[in-house]
Amino acid sequence: MRQSDLQERVQVLEDELALMGSMIDTQARKFEAALAELENRLKGQTKPHAQEKMK
């Protein structure tokens, strides 16, 4: 392979890696938001007045 071909291939791979990293970041933010929502729901269910209603 020529040097220019290798450089082009490296650039393509770097671009693909950057895109994958961005996608992972997006999914991580979605996961963190969903986790925070679940934690808030759980906190809401474990409040003292909520426990009283369940008895």
What's the pLDDT at 14?
98
12 phi/psi in degrees, rounded to 5: -60, -45
In the chain, what are the domain boundaries? 3-54
Cα separation values, 42 from 12, 36, 47, 52, 55, Å: 45, 10, 9, 15, 17
Structure tokens given for 28: 């991580």
The verdict on pTM exceeding 0.75 is no
pLDDT digits (tens, 9 = 90+) for 14-45: 999 999 999 999 999 999 999 999 999 999 98
